[in-house]
Structure 1
Amino acid sequence: MLRIALTGGIAAGKSTASARFGELGATVVDHDILARRAVEPGSAGLVEIVRAFGDRAVRDGALDRAALAAIVFHDPAARAQLDAIVHPYVFAMARAADKQARADGAQVVVHDIPLLVEAGGGEDYDLVVTIAAPEEVRVARMVESRGMSRDDALARIRSQASDAERSAAADTVLDGSGTAEALRAQVDEYWQVHVPAH
């Protein structure tokens, strides 16, 4: 079973690439979904978050994402504390997903991991693919499609690993600066070269 880690900065095109890998036949494990599962109401993850950040992090028994973002977004130490709580649960669920995929006979599993570099997990995979796009392209996408202000978009981008750090961790860098069709074509080419017996 070939295990590929797919990463990329916000608005670089990673979701487009992830979807295309799924269309080509890969089993896709979305770590954002796992992260949400890790902090569902009643979860051990949510209990730890409340212990660390107080009741202001929850509303009506569920994680208040906006409130938590306000706490950790401008505080690197708080963000690191949050990551230290959530990441072990996500990694445990990812290992379980791998085990299930192997049992199901999957040949290729793509782990869609936005914070791969930040979490330091790249060496756990057979291949690492980064989707990269210039900062200005990403800012424009966030302003247009997500309604963010330019300052908010830049702050979000700069709170993540840099393109250089993600590229250094990658075996392959795909260009997400163009159209979705152009990126899908790159994924197709990558699949032809790197995925055996498909």
Structure 2
Amino acid sequence: MTMKHRQRVPGLRRLVSATVAALTLTVAAAPNAMAAPATPQEETLQWVSAEDYLATTGASPDRGKLDIGALSKPLPEEGVAPDGAPASLRPRLDPGGGNDGKWWSVVWSGRDRNGTYVPLRLGNSDLGYLHYNVRHNLVSLEPWKAALNSHGPNAQGNYVALLVDRNLGVRETVIFGVQLSTRTQDGRYTSPDGAYIGVITGYCKGKNKCPDAVNRVKVS
């Protein structure tokens, strides 16, 4: 079943505002800091496209003035668990909705900001969702939805999503390799529907398997 592309991920400025508000509350509560021990809270994370992140932080995405890797604070790999995404964040492989189990079945599709239609196909061991979901523990569709909020792939032919914290620190970088052609480079696959092949693979930068946290964060 093909799902409609959602609206672009909101800007990160509200994250900055939330951080400032949190710091204000921290300062105001300082006199009572000894009276009440801090209680652990789940970290606030958000998916954004690399393009949105670079634009918000004042860097030029096309010139690459910002080294994302230098800012990265990766999540620990502990807790990795295959198929860890909530059911609501996984693709719905509905045989009655056009996903008939063939490799070219589209499990989610959308258009980037240039209007280019880029499908995520069910795939197989060579390409698409079935190629990367278990192999790289990337089950949720949310990183791909965020990555598509870009004016096309980067110079390496990838769409990139960033998982950022409230201080705009990059916690994970998820890379999606795509092929914007109707036939794969090796000539083995041609899309029967005439649309682009789309997503070939997806993975967390520098890791064989993504931390399970990437499967729990929804695009806001």
TM-score, normalization by structure 2: 0.25
Higher helix share: 1
Bigger-Rg structure (1/2): 2
TM-score, normalization by structure 1: 0.27
Q: Which has the higher contact order (CA 8 A, sep 6+)?
A: 1
